[in-house]
Chains A and B, each alone.
Chain A
Amino acid sequence: MVGVNTLREMYEQMVTARRYEQRLQEEYLEGKQPAFDISAGPIPGELHLAAGHEAAAVGVCAHLDDEDTVTAPHRPHHVAIAKGVDLDRMTAEIFGRETGLCKGKGGHMHLFDPDVNFACSGIIAQGCPPAVGAAMAADKRNEDSVAVAYLGEGAVDQGAFLESLNLAAVRELPVVFVVEDNDWAISMPQDRITDVDTIAERADGFDMPGVRVDHDDAIAVYEAARDAVGRARNGNGPTLLDVQVHRRMGHFMGDAEGYRPDEDSERAQRLDAIERLADDLRDRGVDDAELQELRELAEDRVEDAIEWAKAQPEPDPADAHEDVFVDDPAAASGGDD
Chain B
Amino acid sequence: MSKPASDPGTGGVDRELTMSRAMVDAIASEMRADDEVFYMGEDVQDYGGIFDSTEGLLEEFDRDRVMDVPISETAYVGAAVGAAQAGMRPIAEIMFADFVGVCLDQVYNQMAKNTYMSGSAVNVPMVLTTAVGGEYNDAAQHSQTLYGLFSHLPGMQVVVPSTAYDAKGLMHAAVRSDDPVVYMFHKRLMGIGWMPAPEGPKTPVPEDDYTVPIGEADVKREGGDVTVATLGLHVHRALDAADQLADDGVDVEVIDLRSLVPFDTETVLDSVEKTGRLVVVDEDYQSFGVTGEVVARVAERSPDALEAVERVAIPDVPIPYSRPLETEVNPQVEDIVAAVESVE
| A185 at interface, CB cutoff 8 A | yes
> Could you give 30 example pairs across A and B, Cβ below 8 Å?
A38-B136, A39-B136, A39-B195, A44-B136, A45-B138, A96-B137, A96-B321, A96-B322, A96-B324, A96-B325, A104-B322, A105-B320, A107-B138, A109-B141, A110-B141, A121-B141, A122-B142, A123-B99, A123-B101, A157-B72, A185-B43, A187-B45, A187-B46, A187-B68, A258-B47, A315-B324, A319-B325, A320-B326, A320-B329, A321-B328
| B200 at interface, CB cutoff 8 A | no
Contact A35 B193 (CB under 8 A): yes
- For B343, the chain A residues whose CB sits under 8 A away are none
Once bound together, how far apart are the Cα atoms of A122 and B326, in whole Å?
A: 17
Contact code string B138-168 (vs A, CB < 8 Å = 1, else 0): 1111100000000000000000000000000
Binds A, one of B113-121, B204-212, B310-318: B310-318
| A4 at interface, CB cutoff 8 A | no
| A97 at interface, CB cutoff 8 A | yes
Cβ-closest 3 pairs across A and B: A107-B321, A104-B322, A96-B322
- For A159, the chain B residues whose CB sits under 8 A away are 72, 74, 102
Cβ of B315 to closest chain A Cβ, rounded Å: 6
Once bound together, how far apart are the Cα atoms of A100 and B139, in whole Å?
A: 14
Known: A160-B102, A259-B46. 20 other contacts (CB 8 A): A37-B194, A38-B194, A39-B136, A44-B137, A45-B142, A93-B321, A102-B321, A104-B322, A105-B325, A106-B140, A109-B139, A122-B139, A123-B99, A158-B71, A188-B68, A314-B324, A320-B315, A320-B317, A320-B320, A324-B316
A185 in complex: contacting residue of B71, B195, B316, B318, CB < 8 Å: B71
Q: Which of B136, B195, B322 has the most CB of A within 10 A?
A: B322
Contact B321 A324 (CB under 8 A): no
Minimal Cβ-Cβ distance residue in B for A260? B46
Instruction: Find residues 27-66 in chain A having any chain B CB closer than 8 Å to their own CB.
Output: 35-39, 44-46
Contact B142 A46 (CB under 8 A): yes
- For A185, the chain B residues whose CB sits under 8 A away are 42-43, 71
Cβ of B37 to closest chain A Cβ, rounded Å: 22
Contact B193 A36 (CB under 8 A): yes
| B11 at interface, CB cutoff 8 A | no
| B70 at interface, CB cutoff 8 A | yes
Contact B317 A321 (CB under 8 A): yes
- For A316, the chain B residues whose CB sits under 8 A away are 324
Contact A193 B322 (CB under 8 A): no
| B50 at interface, CB cutoff 8 A | yes
| A154 at interface, CB cutoff 8 A | yes
Q: A38-B194, A187-B46 are in contact. Are A123 and B321 (CB under 8 A)?
A: no
| A124 at interface, CB cutoff 8 A | yes
Contact A35 B194 (CB under 8 A): yes
Contact B102 A126 (CB under 8 A): yes
Q: Which of A96, A315, A320 has the most CB of B within 10 A?
A: A320
Contact A193 B69 (CB under 8 A): yes
Instruction: Find residues 263-319 in chain A having any chain B CB closer than 8 Å to their own CB.
Output: 314-319
Contact B47 A259 (CB under 8 A): yes
- For B329, the chain A residues whose CB sits under 8 A away are 320-321
Cβ of B132 to closest chain A Cβ, rounded Å: 15
Q: Which of B45, B69, B137, B195 has the most CB of A within 10 A?
A: B137
Cβ of A189 to closest chain B Cβ, rounded Å: 9
| B196 at interface, CB cutoff 8 A | yes
A123 in complex: contacting residue of B50, B141, B194, B196, CB < 8 Å: B141
- For B75, the chain A residues whose CB sits under 8 A away are 157
- For A160, the chain B residues whose CB sits under 8 A away are 102
Q: How large is the interface on B (under 10, 10 to 19, 20 to 34, 35 or more residues)?
A: 35 or more
Chain A residues touching B, majority SS: loop
Point out residues on A near B: beta carbons under 8 Å. 35-39, 44-46, 93, 96-97, 100, 102, 104-107, 109-110, 121-126, 154-155, 157-160, 185-188, 192-194, 254, 258-259, 314-321, 323-324
Contact B137 A39 (CB under 8 A): yes
Minimal Cβ-Cβ distance residue in B for A154? B71
Q: A45-B137, A46-B142 are in contact. Are A188 and B43 (CB under 8 A)?
A: yes
Cβ of A327 to closest chain B Cβ, rounded Å: 16
| B327 at interface, CB cutoff 8 A | yes
Cβ of B62 to closest chain A Cβ, rounded Å: 14
A110 in complex: contacting residue of B43, B139, B196, B317, CB < 8 Å: B139
Once bound together, how far apart are the Cα atoms of A126 and B103, in whole Å?
A: 12
Minimal Cβ-Cβ distance residue in A for B72? A157
Instruction: Find residues 283-341 in chain B having any chain A CB closer than 8 Å to their own CB.
Output: 315-318, 320-329
B71 in complex: contacting residue of A93, A193, A254, A319, CB < 8 Å: A193
Once bound together, how far apart are the Cα atoms of A35 and B195, in whole Å?
A: 10
Contact B322 A97 (CB under 8 A): yes
Q: A36-B194, A193-B70, A324-B318 are in contact. Are A317 and B328 (CB under 8 A)?
A: yes
Minimal Cβ-Cβ distance residue in B for A318? B328
| B178 at interface, CB cutoff 8 A | no
- For A124, the chain B residues whose CB sits under 8 A away are 71
Once bound together, how far apart are the Cα atoms of A193 and B71, in whole Å?
A: 8
Cβ of B328 to closest chain A Cβ, rounded Å: 4
Once bound together, how far apart are the Cα atoms of A294 and B42, in whole Å?
A: 41
Contact B42 A107 (CB under 8 A): no
Once bound together, how far apart are the Cα atoms of A125 and B74, in whole Å?
A: 14
B317 in complex: contacting residue of A157, A259, A324, CB < 8 Å: A324
Cβ of A148 to closest chain B Cβ, rounded Å: 21
Q: A36-B193, A157-B72 are in contact. Are A320 and B137 (CB under 8 A)?
A: no
Once bound together, how far apart are the Cα atoms of A110 and B320, in whole Å?
A: 10
Contact A158 B42 (CB under 8 A): no
Minimal Cβ-Cβ distance residue in A for B49? A187
Q: A44-B323, A105-B320, A193-B70 are in contact. Are A158 and B136 (CB under 8 A)?
A: no
